[in-house]
């Protein structure tokens, strides 16, 4: 198949190289993790970067990242963690960032256990919560942890008020003792989770991840960036008005849902040989409802 030169020019160089590869290789490339920068994400990353570079002090500031499912929270956190990957020294490993999930309950014992597991730190299975907390502090100091990211923080609401307050106080105390910033991540219910105490609320100011607007320049630019990474042999023009509005309607304006939908349609286009995304591919690719998707 002859490929239009204008289409080739618009593709990312790595994508361009994939066009003549086997279909299964193009599909694998399509589904591999990719980071596409956009203004809101860059602003959040910049805030996180400022936090991790702060000098140690008793009352370290933190932040709360709030967005609905598929709003891009996990993608942003993942990109930040890639900026500060563990450093393997000759006799030790430095972990700049620890990223954990809040156990439902909330369960402090399970929380400390998950941190220790991520650090690959040994501890007896019979260890009590206080012992695990002490080990977390010890290993944080030993491996040079500079930031703790706690995802799904809204899960603390599944427990009684007393447990919620205990969990949030433990997080605050860990930040103060280790003098490191803590970043909380969750859906809008997370705003209620940090509202247990005025001091805690002031330490974790919220940054909201909004839905995309279908008439914004940033949305069109995002679609152009996404299309440049699609290993399709024909131009789809997903950034043109009709297609942009259709994608927005089907994704509800959430970036994770856009990626899932567009990738599913591109996969379908490769498999069927149409080699471009149209409303037909969007409709027939088998992409499910956004409410059933995992977070992005």
Question: Mind listing the pLDDT tens digit for each residue in 46-89?
Answer: 999 999 999 999 899 999 999 999 999 999 999 999 999 988 87
Structural domains in the chain, CATH included, are 5-32+212-286 (no CATH), 57-208 (3.40.50.300)
DSSP string over the chain: ----HHHHHHS-HHHHHHTTS-HHHHHHHHHS------HHHHHHHHHHHHHHTSPP-SS---EEEE--TTSSHHHHHHHHHHHT--EE-SS-EE-SEEEEEPPTTT-HHHHHHHHHHHTT----TT--HHHHHHHHHHHHHHHT--EEEEE-GGGGGGS-HHHHHHHHHHHHHHHHHHT--EEEEESTHHHHHTTT-HHHHHHS-EEE-PPPPTT-HHHHHHHHHHHTT---SS---TTSHHHHHHHHHHHTT-HHHHHHHHHHHHHHHHHHT--S--HHHHHHS----GGGSPP-
Residues in the chain where the model's pLDDT stays below 50: 290-296
Question: Mind listing the pLDDT tens digit for each residue in 231-240?
Answer: 999 999 999 9
């Amino acid at each position: 198949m002859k490929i239009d030169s204008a289409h080739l020019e618009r593709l990312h160089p790595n994508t361009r190289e994939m066009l003549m590869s086997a279909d299964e290789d193009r599909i694998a490339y399509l589904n591999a993790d990719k980071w596409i920068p956009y203004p809101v994400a860059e602003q959040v990353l910049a805030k996180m970067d400022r936090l991790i570079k702060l000098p140690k002090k008793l009352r370290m500031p933190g932040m709360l990242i709030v967005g609905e499912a598929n709003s891009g929270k996990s993608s942003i956190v993942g990109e930040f963690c890639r900026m500060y990957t563990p450093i393997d020294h000759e006799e030790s490993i430095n972990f700049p960032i620890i990223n954990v999930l809040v156990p439902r309950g909330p369960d402090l014992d399970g929380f400390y256990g998950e941190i220790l597991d991520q650090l690959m730190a040994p501890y007896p299975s019979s260890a009590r919560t206080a012992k695990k907390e002490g080990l977390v502090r010890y290993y944080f100091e030993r491996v040079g942890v500079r930031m703790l990211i706690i995802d799904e923080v809204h899960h603390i609401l599944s427990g009684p008020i007393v447990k919620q307050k205990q969990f949030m106080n433990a997080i605050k105390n860990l930040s103060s003792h280790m003098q490191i910033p803590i970043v909380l991540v969750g859906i809008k219910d997370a705003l209620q989770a940090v509202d247990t105490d005025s001091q805690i609320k002031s330490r974790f100011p919220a940054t909201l991840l909004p839905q995309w607007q279908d008439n914004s320049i940033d949305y069109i630019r995002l679609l152009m960036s996404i299309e440049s990474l699609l290993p399709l042999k024909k131009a789809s023009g997903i950034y043109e008005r009709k297609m942009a509005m259709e994608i927005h309607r089907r994704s509800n304006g959430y970036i994770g849902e856009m990626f899932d939908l567009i990738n599913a349609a591109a996969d379908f286009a490769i498999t069927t040989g149409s080699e471009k995304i149209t409303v037909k591919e969007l409709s027939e690719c088998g992409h499910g409802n956004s409410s059933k998707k995992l977070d992005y």
